[in-house]
Each structure stands twice: as C-alpha cells, then as structure tokens.
Structure 1
Amino acid sequence: MAKRQERHQRKKENKEKVSRVKTPRGKLAKSTKISLSILAAILLLVIAGSIFFFQKYGKEVTAAIDAGEEHAAKIQESDFKQYHPTTILDKNGQVIKELKTQERDYLTYDKMDPLVSQALTSIEDKRFYEHHGVDTQGLLTVALNAATGRGVRGASTITQQLVKNIYLTPEVSISRKIEEMVMAQSLEKKFTKHQILEYYLNNVYFGHGAYGINAAAKVYFGKSINDTSLLEKATLVGITNNPGIFDPTTNKKNALKRAKLILKEMNAQGYITKEQYDKAVKDDFNAEVHSNALNNQLDNNEVALAVDSTTKILMGQQDFRFQYQFDTKEEEDRYNEEYTTAYNKVYQRILSGGYQISTNIDPGLHDQLQGILSNVMNSWQDRGGENNFYTKQAALTVIDNQTGDVVASVGGRGEEGNHYNRAFLSYRQPGSAIKPLVSYAPAYERGLLESSAVSDDRPNNTYPNNVYNGSKGNLTLRNALAISSNVVAYKLASENRDELKEPIYQPLAQMQFTGLDVADDNPIIAVGGMTYGATTQEMASGIATLVNQGNYRTPLNIQTIKRKDNGQEIFTQNDLAQQKVYSDDAAYLTIDTMKAVHQNADGTAAGLSLAHNQYWAVKTGTTDEAKDLWTVGATPYYTVAVWAGDDTPQPQDNASVGQATKEIFKQTMDLLNNGKEDVDFQMPSSVQKAGGQLVTRSSQTKQVLATRKNALQTATASIDTLAKQKANELTAAKLNTPMVEEASTFSNQLISERIDTLSQFELIVTDTQDNWQTFDQYAQQVFALVQQVEPSGGTLSDQYTNVYRNKEAEYAHEKAARDSAINTVKDQIDDTKNQSKDLDKRINDLKKQLEEKD
C-alpha cells in the first residue's frame, strides 16, 4: 500500500513540474497543431453525440436521475448490516422458521486482512481511491459498448456494484445505469472508502448460499478469511465476478486462472512484492463445500412458498419488470436469464437476514392436508433415484376464494428429506383441466352460451382426438365440457383467437402463468399441449379467478413484510391490486358449466360428491398416456388443485391414479367446507335466467349485433334486388324495340349490340324471386335474329353462345348458394327443435325428481 501511495505522489510531483515548464511564444509546433485539430474534432463529435443522445434518451435520463435521487435519499447504514436473522411467522404470530443460512461473522474494515480489499480493488476498480463513485474514464467503455451494440456494459465501480447488489435488479439499460451512477455518488458522500469496501465484502454473493467473504471462506475452505492463504484470498475475490464460472469446487481451473490474474495485478500495482507473488502463484488450494457452515434448507413446503413469494415482492419493489408472454424465443431466453439473476440475488438476501415475514400459514391445517395426500397415495410404495424417494408423487394447492390467499401448499408425499415443493415449482402438462381457462371462459366472453352448439367432428385428420375416439355430433358447450371433448375445446380456442384478436394464452399470461412459451399461442394448449406446463398453484389461482368474478389476485401466503433493523413495514397484502381477466358473466358461466362435469351422468367426474356442498364446480385433466392426472375445482369458499404422476413423466394407470386425485380433492374439500353454509356461487347482475337457460349480457349484446347485421344484410339485399330490377327494365326496353321483319335489313352491328344488351341482364335468385325464365325468353328472341343472319353459325353465334353460357353458370352458382342457405336455416330449425325436446325432457326429469323428494 505504501509503495502505491509513493507512486501516486511521484505522479503528482511530475505533473506539477510539467505545469511549471514555460512554452516559447510564437508559432505553435506542427505536432501541436495536429493535436489541437484532433482534440477539436473529438470535441465536435462529443457535442454532436451528446445532442443526439439527449434527443433520444432525454426523458429517460431525467426520469432515471430522479429515481436515483429518490432511492439515494433512503440509503442507510443498516441496509448493509443485517445482523438479525429472517423469521417466518405463522397466522398466529408464532415463529415457525428462523433462517440462519449463513455464519455472517461480519468483519469491519479494520479487522479484515488488508490484502482482501487490495485484491478486490486491483482487479475490480483500479481507480477506486480516485473517483467519487463513478469512474469518468471508464464511461468511455460504456459509450463504446452502447455504440457498437454490445449493450450498456462496463465501467462499474465497486461502489456501483454495491448499489446494484443491494438496491437494484440486474436490468441492463441506460436508465438503470444512470440510476446506479446517481446512487453510487450519493453513497460516496455518505460513507468513507473503507466503509464502502467493508459493506461490499460483507454483502456480495459468493455462491452456495454464502453472503460475505468471511462466510465464503468458511464454506469453501473451512476457515476465517484472515486465516486463508494469499492464493485463497485471491480465489475468493475472483468468485465475485461470476460465482458459477469461478466456483473453486466445480471450476477449479477457471478459479485458479483468475486468482493468478488478480495476484499479477496486485504485484503490478504495488500491493504485494515480487517474492509474495512468486510464492502465491506456486501455491495450491483444496476447496470443497463445507455444508456445516451454512444451513439454507427450507424443509417446510409452506415456508418455501413464503420465501419465494417474498422474493418476488421485493423484486417488484426493486422495479424488476415481470413478463409472462414473449414475441420471440430470443426475448424469452434473455428475460429468463435476467429473471434468474435477479431472483437469486434477492432470494439470498432474504436468507441472509433482516426481515420479518408474517404469513397466513396454518401448520395444523397443513399437517392435516399432508396426511390426506400421503394416505391416499400410500398405495404406491415404489421408490427410486439417488435419494430413494417415492416414484409416484402428488401435489396440492388450496386458495381461499374470499381473499385470494394460498391456504395450503403441499408439495409432495412428505417423506423424510424430500423438501421439493411441486405445488409451485413443478411445471406439468395440465391436460383438459386448462379448458375452462383458455377455451370456455373466452368463448363466453364472445357471447356464446352453455346451450350454444359446436360440432364434435375433428377439424382435420391429425389432431385433436377425443378420448372416446370418435364424434358425438353437435354438442352444447355444457355437454362438451362435461364429457371433456378435445375437439370442441380446440375449436373454441381457435375461434377465440380469431375473434378476440389476441393470443390463445393471453388469459394465462394475465394470471401470471410463468411457464408460457412463444410456441403456446396454439389451440392445442386447450387440451393441455403446452411447452412446459403449469403448477397446481397456477391452476388453482386460475379457477379462483373465475370464482372471483374474473378478477385475478396474485396467490400469496404473505400478509406483511417488515425490516427488522427499523421495524418499517415494506409490504402489506393490501398493496396488491386485482386484475380483470374475464368479464363477470363469462366467469360465472364457466363455473356453472364446470358443475356439469359432476352433475351429468356422462361427466368425467360423475359419481364424485362432496359431503357438505351441493354447489361446486370441477374439471379433471388427463394428458397423453395419462402421464399427468389432475382434479381442479371450487366451492364458493375454496379452490383446490391436485396433481399426481411421476417426477419424470411416465404413463400412469388413469383409473387408479386419476381416482386418487379425485379422492384427495374430495377429502380436502370436505375438511375445508365442514361447518360452512351450503351456498351457491354468486351470480352477477349481468347474468339472468331466460327460457330455461342462463343468458348473459355478452350473449345479448352479440344477439343484438347479429340482429342488426342480419337486418343490414336484408336491407342491402333488397336494395340490390331493386337495382337489378331497374337495370332489367332498361334492358327489356332495348330488347323490346320494334324490329324489321326481314333479317336482311339488320346489320351485324345491330345484332351484336342486342347480344351485349342481353349480357347486361341482372339475374335475381332469392328464396322469393327467380327471373331465369324472363332472361331465357329474351335470349330466345336474340337467338332467332342470329339464326336468320348466320344459319350455319359464325361470329355472332359464338358471341351469343358465350353470353348465354356465362349467364347459365351465374344462375347455377346463385341457385346453389340460395339452396345452401335454406338448408342451413332448416338445420338450425331442426337443432332448435331437438334442443327444445332435450330441454323439455330435462324439465320433466327434474319435475319427477322434485315429486319423488316431496
């Protein structure tokens, strides 16, 4: 350190000497002129570039500066010193988990070996002691990278990195870079250089759950940072650049190479002697993860969800832009990388301490639901894999429909050591369980009703196929969902996209389904053919959205989040806003349609009943080869989603495993709804009963529009017919003009004009009018004239023949169109009669049932 300070002093003295040298007056040297010219050119370029930059990014820059100053005003020392472990409280305020995931052993600057901070500054920020938070020389790197299309990268000082680690998400943009720079300069005004180094080295992430360099030394080398060798110190500092690439346990070669680069810089900058350098580069290390140094195992499903939810909440507070649908695969991949980086950073900070997370977790209820799932799945005892866990697994999510809270998150069968929460982490193909969300609710948005009929005939010879391998003809939407027609769901999804002019997965994106892919804008997802799939939590929140009149609420088990250092409440559940995904009537109609799945004799959940509810909705789901089995549904009080299958998808016995999901669903609902009043789902004012069926505002609007459209078409057709009639009157007047009896008095030109006039005749073919015979009479008159002039045929005969044949073809086409329209109307009348008979039958059956009850 002394050598470096001496070198800085010599540089300063040399500058002073140079400034005292007097330049001779008179003409400037040629080299000086050239230098000044170049400087002038550069200055002009800089000015021009600045003008362009501020024209393009001026507003963005101003907003970023304001945001940076706003965040900077809130910076406090306790942000970097979180001595208190994060605690998770249950619904009664009792501590159910205290996260002691790292032995922080916070080291102040004066107690840390100076070689550690020297290693850091030598490789990460050579001008650390010279700048004020932002390296103005390094900004040229940022400009060059931006100009060459390599993004806004480079020139991050240690102070800026600290700001980014603690306060900002890793978004790469001009506004974020400026915000970071403003905050860094503010940080340098509040704290000394030594404090900043102290904060950085105690907060940066080193991988394997280690936050801070002292924790990292214990994780990788089993000792304190001050007890490590010079090579080990350089190795640990090297990790901060990229914990994955420079992990000394999995990528020793990379870690060693970077460590030696750091040592070389330390020697070159005078921090270590040549002897120290030579000794260190010849040294070696043995790194391994010491699991006893950290305890970051979240072995409670509910706690794991709470930490995940908290992570996403804090990411949002750091202005991370969540995204659920993408235009290109490249955009999707880029987002996933940014998301993972931001998530891991915030997640590790939560584990490292400083927060009190109050939840609605009910440990007793969780144990009861875990018991239901484990007992039902107890029939399958096969185990496998490295950890010898059960091969066949299941997951369960329960949502309170009144609040939107996740009441329970059961992520597996609960065997010892298996802590993976499949309920919110495992993406599985949802099969037919997704149909209400992507096919039926949007169809009801378009104005269709439960009684609307759709053909069950396959649209092509490839897909989709029904599980019953055939077609059941025209099906009402209610019947189609009850028997789970894949064909109808596929057709509805396709029509929804065409008519609503939005991607098929649009409602899923609005409900924050995180496994969506650009390829999922395909009607095949209506039968569960998604690229990645969905979780039980996402499926439950989707159905809960239907119960909540189409309003989506983010599924959380978090009530409040507080900072422990100052008691500040940084989140409350009231902060969350609902998002309208479906109209009230579309949501209600979908829920009502789902009742048919268990009410209809041929429904896929026929025979399933709940002990305390008669008003409930359900949908089953089965994927190809029954690799994933689902039962999702709701009462007015709770929504439950159940999945079962193998962690590595394998064909299942649908009869047994599918029945298991229904049994878990039933027992869960019976437990949750016991003691609650048996009430129906709330019907919105936009839905009414008329003519024995539910009619919605959407359907009435569509009917009005259809009536207006038909009236307009009828009026247009009438006007068109009148115009044709007027045109024909003029044509007839020409054709009926007196003729000289002798054909010889007619010139070919006059007859040709008669043929042209004939071609102008307008054919009228409707269900009430047909003027072909009138046309034919005129045609015979003209033909007689042609025969007199050209008895053996000729030019006029050919001209006449072409006109007549064209009119003949036009008439045939118009007649076929009319007949087709008439047949369609007849079919609609027949369908209506059949539906009416079916409705009468159901009314009679209902009357009989009521009479039997009486």
Structure 2
Amino acid sequence: MISTSAYLYLSPKLPPAEDYRNVRLVNPLRIYSADDKLIAEFGEVRRDPVKYNDIPQLLVDALIASEDTRFYQHNGVDLKALGRSVLGILSGNPSGGGSTLTMQLAKNISFEGESPYSRKFKEILLALKIERELNKEEILELYLNRIFFGISAYGVSAASSQFYNKTPNELSLSEMAMLIALLPAPNTINPLRSEQRALTYRNRVLRRMLELSMITQSQFNEANDTPLTAQRYGVEIEVEAPYIAEMVRLDMEARYGSLAITDGFEVYTTVNSETQAQASQALTDGLENYDRNHGYRGPENHMRPSNSDDDVDMWLSILARTVTIGDQEPAFVQQISERSLLALLKTGESITIEWDGIRWAKQFINNSTWTSSPRTAGEVVDVGDLIRVSRNSENRWMLSQVPAVNGSLVSINPNNGAILALAGGYDFYQSNFNRVTQARRQPGSNFKPFLYAAALENGYTAASLINDAPLDRSDYRPENFGGEFLGPISLKYALTNSKNLVSLRLYDALGDDLVMPYIARFGLNEAEFPRNDLTVAIGSHALTPMAVASAYTVFANGGYQVQPYLIERIENFNDGNVYQAQPALVCQACEASFDPENQQDPSFYPAPRVIDEDVAYIMNTMLRSVITNGSGRRINREIGRSDLAGKTGTTNDNFDLWFSGFNGDMVTTVYIGFDSPQTLGRDEQAATVAVPIWIDFMEDALNGMPINSMAQPDGIVTVRINPETGFRAQPNEEGAIFEVFREESQPLEADNANALNDPNSLEDENDLF
C-alpha cells in the first residue's frame, strides 16, 4: 500500500524522456582566433561526447565488469543487490551498492539533495523508464558521456584526454581499466594523488574482467604488470592571448550568465594568431628593453649560502614556489667568476651566463639615474641571489628582470572595427589589469589631431599661420617642449613638431561649443571632458588606449566611424551558430545609395560618415608629415612605407608615452607608463619608447601587404605656397612648397585669410605637448 502510494506520488515527477534523450552535456567555453587557433578554454571539461560505435568494446566490458555484471539481463533494476542497499538505508547503516548502471545514470540526471529513500525510489522509477525508452547501447553511450571521472573530466572522452592525452580508441587495456576504476570514488582513487590505491583498484577491474572471460590470461598479465602512466594533461593552447581570453569570458558571462562556461560555446574572435603573437612580442621586447636601459634593480631575494649540499635543496624548494613571469625564469646564483655566473633553475639544471648577458646591469638609482657599466659579475650579483634569467635572440641565457614599467598595444581594422591584436600588459598572470581597456591616462599630443581636424572643418587650412609665442599670464607661463618659440608657423608644421602654444591658441579660438561636439564624432565621450579647460587641447583629459585607437580609425578610413569589436561569431555545442557579428562597414561607393528602409542584405550596414572626406585627407597628409619630418621619423627610416601616418604623445614629466599610427588596413596604438604614475625618465619621450614598439609590431604585421593610403578626394587641390606666409607662391619663388587644400579654401596671391591670431589669447599647463 505504501509502495503503491509512493509510486503514484513520485511517478508524475519523473523527467520526460527528452530530458535525458537530448540531455545538454556540459562543455567548456572555448575561445579561438580568426584562423581557428585555440586561445583559451574555461569551465568544466566534458568535451567531445562520443558515439557508442566509437567506444572500444574492452572499455565497455571493463565498465560492466566493474559496475554492473548483469547489465544485459536486467530491466534497469537488480532486485537482489537493491534489496541489500534498501535494507541498509532503513536500518541506518547504508552500505552502498545496489545501483545498476541505469540507476547510476538516473541519479546523474536528477534527484540531487533529496532524502536517501526518496532519491533511491525515484532512481528505480526513472531507471525502469529509461530502460523502456532507450536500448542498452544508448544507455551505455549516455552513461559514458555524462559520468564524472575526476578533477574536471566529465565523460570518457574528457577523461582519456585529461589523464592520457588520447582518444578512447587509443587507450590501452590497462588505461581503460584505470579510468573505469575511478568511477566509485574519482577523487580518492585518482592516480595523480595516490598511485598505490589507484593501482589496487585498477587491478581489481582487470581481475574481474578475467573472471568474466572478457580478457585472456595473457592480456591480464600484461595489463596487470603495466605501471601507471596517467598524467595531468591540459588543452593545448595555440595562441597566447590571455587578455583577449578574459575580455571574451567577461562578455560571454554578461550574455549567458553561468551557462557561458558550461554550455559548449565556441567563440571565434577577430584576432589573427600571427598578428597577435607579433603584438605580444613587440610589447614584451619594448618593455624589457626600456627596463634594461634604466639599470638593474637587484635580486628578488637573497638566501645566505651555508656552503653545504643543503643549499641546493633549499634553493630548489624556493624555486618550486616561484612562478615564471613572461619568459623570465627564477634562478639562484650558485657560483660567480670574474665575467660569468652559474645559476640553478627550478628543474635542477645549472646554467652558465656569460658576460654578454650580464654587462647591461648598471645599478639602478632612479628612473633618470644609474651607475656606470659594471666591470665584473661580482659587482652585479652575489651567491644566493634569487634572480631572473631568460634567453636572448640568439637563444643564450642572460640575466634579466621583470619590468617595473608596463603598457599596452591594440590594433584595429579601420574598415570594420575588428580588433586584430591586443596586448593588455607585460604578463596577464602577474597583473590581469587590461591597460588597453582599463587604463585611463593622459594622451598628451596624441589627442591633438582631433583638435586640428575641428579647425580644418571650420575654415582653417594646413597652411594657416598661428603664432608660436609665449602667453602673457600672471599665474604661470606655458611652454613648448624644449622651451623654444618659433613665432608664426603653419598648422601642419605645428602638428608635425607638436607645438603646445599653437594648440592652445587654436582651442581658444574655436571654443568648447565647437570642439566638444566635434571630438564626439570620433567616438569620444563629450560628457567626460571638462569645460572651459584649455589643457584639453594638449591632451590633459585621460583616455583609454582603446578609445584613442578607435578614434584614429576615423582618419585611417577616410572619415567614417566604426565600433571596435572582438567577437566575430559564437557557436554552441547544442544549438549551432547562435551569434554573428554585423559590424558597420566602410563603403564609400555604397554610402550615397544606402537606404535603410529598403535594405537588400540585412547583414550589411554601412558605417556613418562623421567627418568630411576632404578634412580626413588633409589630416592624413599632416599626420604623414609627423612620420617624414617629425617625432616619427624613425618609422620612415626603419619601415620605409609611404602609407604610414600617426602622432606621438608625451605627458607631464614624461609620465605617459604614446604613439598612434595607421595605414588603410590597420590602426595601432601603443601606450607605455607605470601603473602608479611616475616619470619614465627625464630623457624618455614617446619617440624613444613607444615608437620602437610600434615599429617592431607594424613592420611584421604589414609585411607583404600592399601600400594602402587614402586616395585624394575630388574636392582637394594641391597648391604651391610660401610656407612662411601661407600665400600662393610666385612662379619663381625660392623655398616654396606644395600643400593640399579644400578647393574652396585654397590661398590666392593676395589672400589675407591667414592673418595671425592674437598671441595673448590663451593659457595652459606648460608640460603637455
């Protein structure tokens, strides 16, 4: 009577057949590059569920021998074994056991957190239901894809990969038996934790298989005598891009919550694996070069040697707990010669560092001061020093140190906003602070092009003259970098040579009401900028490198606004393609004909034009002049492409160093600075630190790509002018240059439109330039 009542009560609460026929197997979040290389994997691993036909018969036999020898005879419930289990529960002494494979599967599907009696009864009912609706092979397939094998492996495919780096079909008999032996207590029997216990349980499975004639005596002997070979294998990461991986993970969790790392999502990013590797390497090399140039800060620790064998054991113990940062390994100094040293790695290997790998280590005093070069290794290190070592470009060991400075690099496709590469810092595992998206720092002169574009849009030309002269202020006197003043100079010359006073006068002449709405066209948040603050003109308002790079895409693509994006598409293990990016695309030819009310292709959205194409072209020529004649001249020497343009930025006391540059295919911004703001050194500028990093990246990234610079629009004319007056030059006038103008703004011989602005109309802080 009680059993009948329980059945009538519990039976309607059993899950419907589709809940276990089409069960959503937990799969990790996987993140890929645009060229299908694995960047990261997050979440529980129950990957690559297998079909029954792909499961080796010996593995099935091992499972049945260990867990349910009467699997093919019962209808889901083994009454004899179950009776023992139920009696144990009722008597208060549960003995375990009694569950068939089908009942274990039923438990795995449902009934968490219920009383033992209720749970067991529901398991029985669901097991019977499963056996009626699935055949034995389907039950085994579902079981072997769901069951927990320990650590983070759910399913036999995950377990095979995790412990043996194999597929199920590649497992040996001893390996199959070891995996099946884990099932009663995966964490307790784990071969990585207790080898002897695991060996005992594995051999029990083999013995049971022999007793049931599933294997021969010779198979048993060979497998039984085989030592354990299990190891902890992880997934093979093909692209080192942890900052990108974290950006995607956060985005996915915002979209899907906790399902993001359990529902089998595969995210394909816009990042190219080769370009990403070039970005990471360029930033790493640049930060390390800066750091070495400013001297050696000394060992991370020192353990006084006792001159006994115990020293090595002590050092190895400390090294085992010291993480590798970037490519810099920890090591202890064992011996010192006059111009070499012997160092102990955590592997126990001793390496020799020759003088070429030590001689750089002048003693650091501060960011602007260091001692002269050392003459011997003993001036640099002592025995017992905990140091960092790495390999140089010739694969030789050298003394190194983790940079105190940090920075970022981001590269964007200006034609659709796709992020091509992103390095958010020196080492993600040392600091997961993403300096591309989270660091808000003053851009200095990196901001000036947006102001100059506003001027061009409002009647100024590249040849307009503004007085580069001191401002008459009682409270302070702003200056140019270097302290010199040149008098009347053209806008193009002022931008090329980053003249602060010209930018200040320009901002004052235009005014907040004109400048602020204009810079918003570049995607910058107008509301964040202070009003009535002339220092905005020279980059005093903090921006992220992502915001700066995104704003520069408007120059690179000829005047259109695109939005940076990282996720190209999202696929789901259970549901297929669930998201496809639809970025706005730069399309000059279709701009005029686009009709949003009559759109033929719903996946195409033309990017909106935000600045006049004539203005964009003139700005390209002015920023090209920075490369040929200004602070970016090193780019012209080392890369030599005719399609590159950009602008440096250096802030007060050299706290922040920037370079943003582009061609028609890529916009790249490099930012360098300390996380806790301080000077990078009195002699450091963007041209000496940020520009070399930009060069290292762009030279590789653009290798083999055709020249791609903005075509001259129909509304642009080229005029030969006198650079000192801005007027059209006479036919035989010496020193004349060619300059580009909007057709309606070209100078005439007697034009007085370039009259000087009032030299005393502005004020500003004197160090931004």
Shorter-chain TM range is 0.3 to 0.5
Higher relative contact order (CA 8 A, sep 6+): 2
More helix by share: 1
TM-score (norm. length: structure 2) = 0.48
The alignment's TM-score, normalised by the length of structure 1, stands at 0.43
Q: Whose strand fraction is larger, Structure 1's or Structure 2's?
A: 2
